[in-house]
Structure 1
Amino acid sequence: MLEQLNSIDQKAFFFVNSDLSNSFFDWLMPLMRLPAFWAPLYLFLIIFFIKEYKNKGLWLIAFLLLTFAIADFVSASIIKEYFQRLRPCNDPALFGLVKLRLSRCGGGFSFVSSHASNHFAIAVFLISTFYQRWKWVLPAALLWAALVCFAQVYVGVHYPFDVTCGGIFGASVGYGVSKLRKSLVPIDGIN
């Protein structure tokens, strides 16, 4: 069963990493996974929270940081260390087959993707917080997180199963922290 899942995961990986190859994605996808690329969005959120919600905006920032911290720590320091799955670009069995679109593969393990965990955690926190006020936050946040996940596979550093499980884990964290924030710091006009 595990071998069959791994085979399906590898086929899906090569579909994204090789079959979908094109010059536009080769340029865009490495950018999509960089924190600096998303820095304007993060800065906008900080300014918006403070401007719109004043002191409670600081609480939103604190809970958003807590969301990120939990998702990142658990995915990188606990789950990855437990499973120790090699990244596709570091797997000797796939040497020469993976199209690595970064200057280096990176260290660490592959399962689960911390990028996926972190971005889905933030996305679901934002959705859970703002959906009642702005319905568009749902598709926008999910598209943002999904693009980051797709980029991780496209550039060759994660399998689809890594980003899928990372996304599920991150979404759970984002939802949980959002519920905690709602119970501790209710804010008028948002969930």
Structure 2
Amino acid sequence: MIETLNELDTRLFLWLNNQSAPWLDPVMIQITERNTWFPFYALLIGWLIYQFRQQALGLLLAIAGSVAVGDQVASSVLKPMTHRLRPCHTQAIQKFIHPVLECGGPYSFVSSHASTTFALATSLWLLLGRRYPAFGWVFAWAALVSYSRIYVAAHYPLDVLAGTGVGVASAMGIVGIYHRTAAGRQLASFGR
């Protein structure tokens, strides 16, 4: 069963990774690079502080906690536990892939990019989605960043899907804890 799943995952990866174009390579490099998104994060932090003033610290801690837990589960627990090699480190498929960047660390399962971006998107949605439905677009951003990891040959689709699940679960857990605090209850009553 695991071998069949791995084979299907590899085939899907090869198909998706080979849907490339020279003009798209630099775009995907920018999308996949974490530093690209620092201005977005700074704007988000500034907006939260401006919009929520005293409540901003609690919101920022909940969001940062969600991202940190998602990242640590992906990088410090699952990758060392599973030892699944990145596609760009897998010799059997080297001649079939379209690598765009240096390969990076050896392990692939799960994608930290998917975990952290979906933790951010989910925590924003759970905290503020009722009041600001436009935050739904952040899921499209997280999906694009996650797809870029397949495009640059760093992750298999299952790595990205599992990373998405880790990020969503992390956000649900941390935001759930936040809602049980006084600040969380105050925000919930404020948004109604």
Q: TM-score range by the shorter chain?
A: over 0.9
Counterpart position of 2:149: 152
- 1:103-148 residue CA offsets vs partner (Å, 9 max, x unmatched): x10013100001111111111000111111121212x111011001
Cα deviation per residue 1:22-71 (whole Å; 9 max; x = unaligned)? Answer: 12321211111112211111001111111111121011111211111111
TM-score w.r.t. length of structure 1: 0.94
- Specify which of 166, 175, 191 is matched with residue 178 of structure 1: 175
Unpaired stretches in structure 2, ≥5 consecutive residues:
none
Unpaired segments of 5 or more residues in structure 1? none
- 1:12 is the counterpart of 2:12: yes
1:143 aligns with 2:144: no
Paired residue secondary structure (2:29): helix
> 1:75, CA displacement in angstroms?
0.7
1:107 corresponding residue in structure 2:
105
User: What amino acid maps onto 2:167 in structure 1?
Assistant: G
Aligned to 1:44: 43
Which residue does the alignment assign to 1:53?
A: 52
Q: Is the 8 A contact 2:89 2:106 kept in 1?
A: no
Aligned letter for 2:9?
D
Measured after TM superposition, the shift of residue 94 of structure 1 is 1.4
TM-score (norm 2): 0.93
Amino acid at match of 1:63: A
2:17 matches 1:22 = no
Contact kept in structure 1, 2:73 and 2:166, CA below 8 Å = no
Aligned residue pairs: how many? 188
Is residue 2:190 matched to residue 1:189?
A: yes
Superposed CA RMSD: 1.3
Q: Percent identity?
A: 32
Give the deviation of 1:190 after TM superposition.
Answer: 3.7
